[in-house]
Structure 1
């Protein structure tokens, strides 16, 4: 079955389970779809849980492909003292389906992403009424309670969670497709039946079993992405060396080693990797890898009863942590922090930790997703709450990069500052996980160069889409050396906006305002950030001249490191410096200049505030000096 066939199966609204892996990891889900139902396997009561797990194994041994989910609350069924925690519900504790057929998706990752992109553009969905179900006051109160439990020696850590709720109208697979495009992961799942749809964008492996070997990769420790690749490295090192995050990670590693010891041969449980940092679109997460050799005849029931739920979503010690979670969290977690996966006829098993997971009621269109973080003794409520918001934003927003581009001057039969342009393009490509090599760019430019007329100047726009495909646009260029006026925008930018540090087609504000103000005769429009520091223009970087030194804002203010800006700072004979600049610095400047690699350094005649008042006038400055 090809990808179009899978689309048809999904469109038919038949019960099916799709698993996708589009981010390299080892191990990872096989990209495959299960369909054609033989039987449903449900557990609604504690007594049903063991029976359901035995049925999963039996159907697998009979040659069926079994896939589904086990909820967090099912974990109470593995501990006698917790049986009273399981309340009657219309939702199952366990839901698996034995399928007659399964199809491996043999297409490469790029083809799968192209398919998802096509689906997301052809079908529509909408999200609305997003809200937290927990106030900050209640959250802070519960964190203080957890701190008391830790101080009293009950636990070392609690993974505290709460849900978001929202409405999801339209095509749920279109939502899944777009989310997967924005944040490729190794353990995503889309499971749909007539009553509900489950979409999991999990980056975390709970466990895999192959040839008698079991592997688990607990994920603990989160930090936001940097603004570029260099800053990413600093962020990764900060996460890797964070005392708090290392303590959280090692606690869960020890817990899982203990859990695996119940079902593995003595001495076989090993931590093969510790404190690995994995990069995702909006954040980085720290993982470790633990594996062991299973004892003979271990069953699906044995595995889940010994290690479920994952220690990464409970805390340590696990049993006491689960008691505290039950007392504090007012809403059942359901599928969130449970596990989604499959058991194949050859006994291969693969299950994720069901984080970054959305559940949609197909009848009411109400949806929910859980968010949480690990709380230890020195956790601060503000920081943890922000981490939860970052995770929610990561799930529903992601980062969608339409294309990267570079605007290059071609003159004297060559591309101006071409090494700087290629450096910046490759840095952004690496940052956004776009497959691109220097040789590919150079080869494309060499071919393009042969198509251009000799001894002519061109403004070249090189475009690289998210698949690494390169295209270009060219037009004749004639310089304009006349004096220019610029205006300050009334809209503040954010120094935390990642897109400001990369040249992408995600620039609607800049495009809209440049079109508006250039139509009024302005050369460019410049921006202030949230702290009222000057950043850049829509198409240029800014320099001001004061006492024979040319000053430009540092990149940290929220701006693109322009190639001509780089040239001026690194190679020019002019005295140049980076400096925080405010509007008063422009008013007091001896000269104001805008620059980019096409127009180079352009002297500005007048600078206007957003209300039209004059801030700087070069002619008046000249007369005053005389």
Structure 2
């Protein structure tokens, strides 16, 4: 099958998957990546399900994996921080995603290059999918998008956070703001397809949990395991694209050598190294790439890669817990940064800045970071997305606000 035929099959498979109560699609959009096993995985239907609130959710996931030792796909909400550390959340939550949700799929389809492989279920489902008439609904939405912060309040809040940095409370904090719509009625799959077409990214995904949807164009990997190796790839550092090729290349070069962006990035690299040390064979944590510049449709990003060898005495679920939530979405020191996030942000993060992904029967896994993502509660007709950035001593509040608007641009375009 050629690329066009594979893409049509993917669209049909996702349409079929979305007719089930639970499904998850993880799509690399064929970005080249040494750690990705398949271009696309589509998990359909739920044979077994685990939904757990923060408290002992990671222990329940440990038991769930040991009981089934099968492919499983799932969500780790940011609110699991309250289990990992002695923290709480003061804000109300209008999305109400589960803190932790995993399922063993009835059917699992993998796409790799020009091949389609049925990992779970009868091969006859390929013919079932081929016969589907592809719907082409327009992702039209009559939404009134509101913002929890106006520009002046956002800038004033950044200045308050900088005062914490000057006082020595933190070095860096990831500060986010929510855009939302009440009375929202959308076709989630049509909106996801539009988002993925406009902004294809290596860790994109469509996740349906009954009447809850994550429509994600995230470029960031949280953590993956390949054999006995753990790999984390935090993003810190963003620059807008230019339609002029020469100017675009100059922007890339400027990002690579930007002292402020490097400082943001290296703080989080140090934090990730520290997190990985809790699960690593002593002396095995290393930085494989520092300040790598990667290009996406809307932005250039600075991405670093840190890896380690997993200590054989530590279960891989505990390795996930030991690094959660990801440093790129919290700050340093991590616990104080999370306390300030809850004090100064105006929305509960919930699924946002958490993670979703998959675990294989052998215990390999790959999880993304839920950014550049639309979250939708269909029964409450509530739609939300959040954007943010790293606030450091050198941060310019006005520039940080503009970076937020840049990060929001693709989603606002999709929803307009």
- Give the TM-score band, short-chain normalised: 0.7 to 0.9
Is 1:163 the counterpart of 2:178 in the alignment? yes
1:187 equivalent to 2:206? Answer no
| Aligned residue among 35, 46, 51 for 2:44 | 35
CA distance in 2 between partners of 1:212 and 1:98 (Å): 23
With over 3 angstroms needed to count, the CA separation of the structure-2 counterparts of 1:270 and 1:120, relative to structure 1, is farther
What's 1:476 paired with? none
SS class of match (2:301): strand
Structure 1 unaligned residues grouped into runs of 5+: 110-114, 399-626
- 1:203: which partner in 2? 219
- Structure 1 Cα separation of the partners of residues 335 and 134 of structure 2: 42
Query: 2:136 maps to what in 1?
Result: 122
Structure 2 SS opposite 1:379: coil
2:72 aligned residue: 66
Cα distance in 1 for partners of 2:28, 2:11 equals 18
CA distance in 2, matches of 1:7, 1:266: 43
What does the per-residue CA deviation read over 1:83-127, in whole Å, with 9 as the maximum and x for residues that have no partner? x44889754211111224311123549xxxxx9xx9998112223
Displacement of 1:4 in angstroms is 6.3
Q: CA deviation at 1:347?
A: 1.2
Change (3 A) 1:180 1:5: closer
* TM-aligned CA distance change 1:119 to 1:51, over 3 Å: farther
The structure with more radius of gyration? 1
In 2, the alpha carbon distance for the partners of 1:77 and 1:152 equals: 28
1:20 to 2:35 alignment: no
Separation in 1 of the partners of 2:391 and 2:207? 31
Question: Quick one: higher RCO (CA 8 Å, sep 6+), 1 or 2?
Answer: 2
Q: Is the 8 A contact 2:48 2:104 kept in 1?
A: yes
Q: Is the 8 A contact 2:91 2:346 kept in 1?
A: no
Q: Which moved more, 1:121-130 or 1:359-368?
A: 121-130
Task: Quote the offset at 1:304 in angstroms.
Answer: 2.6
- Selected match of 1:52 from 55, 60, 76: 60
Displacement of 1:25: 2.7
Aligned CA distance change for structure 1 residues 6 and 133 (closer, same or farther; 3 Å): same
Q: Which residue is equivalent to 2:108?
A: 102
**Runs of 5+ consecutive residues of structure 2 not aligned to the other structure:** 1-5, 116-128
Q: Distance in 2 between matches of 1:388 and 1:16?
A: 30
1:152 aligns with 2:158: no
> Does the CA-based 8 Å contact 1:126-1:169 persist in structure 2?
no
Matches within 5 A, 1:401-550: none
The residue aligned with 2:126 is none
How many residue pairs get aligned? The number is: 386
* Alpha-carbon distance, 1:27 to partner: 2.5
Evaluate the alpha carbon distance shift between residue 320 and residue 351 of structure 1 in structure 2; reply closer, same or farther with a 3 A threshold. same
Deviations 1:396-432 (A, max 9, x none): 437xxxxxxxxxxxxxxxxxxxxxxxxxxxxxxxxxx
Equivalences for 1:290-305 in 2 at 5 Å?
290-305=306-321
Please report the TM-score for the alignment, with normalisation by the length of structure 2: 0.87
Aligned to 2:158: 143
Distance in 1 between the 2:60 and 2:245 partners? 47
1:215 to 231, 234, 243: 231
CA distance in 2, matches of 1:154, 1:370: 25
Q: Distance in 2 between matches of 1:303 and 1:368?
A: 30
Structure 1 stretches of at least 4 aligned residues deviating more than 6 Å after TM superposition: 86-89, 118-121
CA distance 1:119–1:335, change in 2 (3 Å): farther
For the residues of structure 1 that align with 2:265 and 2:396, how far apart are their CA atoms? 18
Matches within 5 A, 1:226-375: 226-375=242-391
Structure 2 counterpart SS, 1:202 = coil
Partners of 1:243 and 1:29 lie apart in 2 by 35
Counterpart Cα distance in 2 of 1:49 and 1:64: 19
C-alpha deviation, 1:194, in angstroms: 2.2
> Which of 78, 83, 89 is matched with 1:77 structurally?
83
1:138 and 1:52, CA in 2 relative to 1: closer, same or farther beyond 3 A?
A: farther
Is contact 2:239-2:301 (8 Å) kept? yes
CA RMSD of aligned residues (A): 2.4
Distance 1:57 1:13, change over 3 A: closer
**Deviation, structure 1 residue 178:** 1.4
CA distance in 2, matches of 1:4, 1:354: 22
